[in-house]
Structure 1
Amino acid sequence: MSAMTDSGINDSRMRSARPSWLVKQYCGLAKSGLALDLSCGRGGDAVYLAGQGFDVIALDIVQDNLERSYQLAENKNVSIDLRNIDPLDFKFHKERYSIIVADQIFQHLKKSQNVDLAAKIIYSLRKGGLVLGSALTVNDPSFKEIKKRKIAEIEKNCFQLPNGWLYSFFNNREVLDIFPDMQPVYYSESDYFESEHTGASWRGLVEFVFRKN
């Protein structure tokens, strides 16, 4: 889950050591085989999938996240293939994965990069494979905060903060458009109240599960 920084902008670079409800709820719909987590954070989803019998490759660009994920896997007595690599630089192979986790990654890429990454995800999923994830919407308070601070908009609803981090926010049904011809298993755009990590906050979130036909 995301936290709120002192600046009022969602800091979603640190995913939880607990599995997301999407992964717990829907991973059973995927055939056993290889799973890929594109930005594993502290390893919650990757370790959970390994515990469910998947062979897991987990990526992250933050070394501390990889170390935490390794320790969590050790504690849970499972093995995951951890790689310090940007998902944009990762080599995708045709129809290889049964499940791909793309949680909180699209909001940290340019919109044009999102389209390219989604195409690679579709290419590398097996028939019947699932992609699961979430991203921030324009209803998230961070969007208004960024607009108020007049941070540079480098693409439509995509901003680059002074620290270099990118933040993209999604309009209604926009995520559906970057996964054409995929079957929606679950799709929700919602505004909800969150109290984890740093206290109370409102969030605008799109959550999705798509199946490759």
Structure 2
Amino acid sequence: MTKDERSAQEHWDDRYRENERIWSGEPNVALVREVSGLSPGSALDLGCGEGGDAVWLADRGWRVTATDISGVALERAAAHAAGRGVADRIDWQRHDLGESFPEGTFDLVSAHFLHSTVDLPRERILRRAATAVAPGGTLLIVGHAGWPRGHEPEDHPEVHFPTPAEVIASLELAEGAWEVRTAEEYERTRVLPNGEELHHKDNTLRLERLSR
């Protein structure tokens, strides 16, 4: 384990220890919107956090592999899954995705908000995510298009939030092998567990890997 890897893991473990709960426990809105019409199969949830998306998928019949860099987050996610009665449908795995990646291919690979103020090779991770999509499967990438309004930090000017077009270009996909199903940018309001409202501009990219 490298020093950089340790610091990234410690960063996220400390982040989750700041509060008993960081996220709402509910699935991301874009996941529900884009996946509800798909037939359940195997799913990979990258950066699963406290497990809201993975539990929602498992509750609807998906077999889920869910990974995060934070052991603290994974413990909370596993407890959430057990409380919902879907623990047997989710394989929780701890990965620093810049160093290791879950094995296999999946009918759905979902990556929500893979942004970090510590080192994160996001483009390389997402290219690896694309190779993990089975023929006929779906790649769902949801990200922020900028900092929340009124919360722009002064100490991280290097953080770049790519557009859907920039994400597609960075994936380096084989020509004719994929079809874009959704590529959009939109405004949304997120309510934190403490009641604070954050106003985001986000984007969603959903790609289908063609069977032919």
TM-score > 0.5 by shorter chain: yes
RMSD: 2.9
- 1:112-151 to 2 correspondences below 5 Å: 113-138=121-146, 140-141=148-149, 145-146=152-153, 149=154, 151=156
- Out of 107, 113, 117, which is 1:104 matched to? 113
- Out of 150, 167, 170, which is 2:162 matched to? 170
Question: CA shift at 1:30, angstroms?
Answer: 4.2
Alpha-carbon spacing, 1:53–1:170, altered in 2? closer, same or farther (3 Å):
same
After the TM superposition, which segments of 4 or more aligned residues of structure 1 sit over 6 Å from their partners?
109-112
- Out of 78, 85, 90, which is 2:95 matched to? 85
Alpha-carbon spacing, 1:193–1:57, altered in 2? closer, same or farther (3 Å):
closer
Alpha-carbon spacing, 1:117–1:58, altered in 2? closer, same or farther (3 Å):
same
Alpha-carbon spacing, 1:192–1:27, altered in 2? closer, same or farther (3 Å):
closer
SS in 2 for 1:86: coil
Note the residue ranges of structure 1 that are not aligned, 5 or more in a row. 1-13, 159-167
Alpha-carbon spacing, 1:116–1:74, altered in 2? closer, same or farther (3 Å):
same
Question: CA shift at 1:152, angstroms?
Answer: 5.7
Give the distance between the partners of 1:62 and 1:193, measured in 2 at CA.
Answer: 26
Aligned to 1:8: none
Matched, 1:188 2:197: no
Per-residue deviation, residues 6-65 of structure 1 (Å, max 9, x unmatched): xxxxxxxx4441112222233245454321111111111111111222221111122221
SS in 2 for 1:145: coil
SS in 2 for 1:87: coil
- 1:26-105 to 2 correspondences below 5 Å: 26-78=34-86, 79=88, 80-93=90-103, 96-105=105-114
Calculate the TM-score normalised by the size of structure 2.
0.72
Question: CA shift at 1:74, angstroms?
Answer: 0.8
SS in 2 for 1:74: helix
Give the distance between the partners of 2:55 and 2:107, measured in 1 at CA.
Answer: 16
Question: CA shift at 1:183, angstroms?
Answer: 2.0
Aligned to 1:211: 208
**Do the aligned partners of 1:30 and 1:128 also contact (CA within 8 Å) in 2?**
no
Per-residue deviation, residues 110-163 of structure 1 (Å, max 9, x unmatched): 999222122211111011211223212147437x833xx25463xxxx2xxxxx
Identity fraction in percent: 21
**Do the aligned partners of 2:191 and 2:197 also contact (CA within 8 Å) in 1?**
yes
**Do the aligned partners of 1:138 and 1:171 also contact (CA within 8 Å) in 2?**
no
Larger relative strand fraction: 1
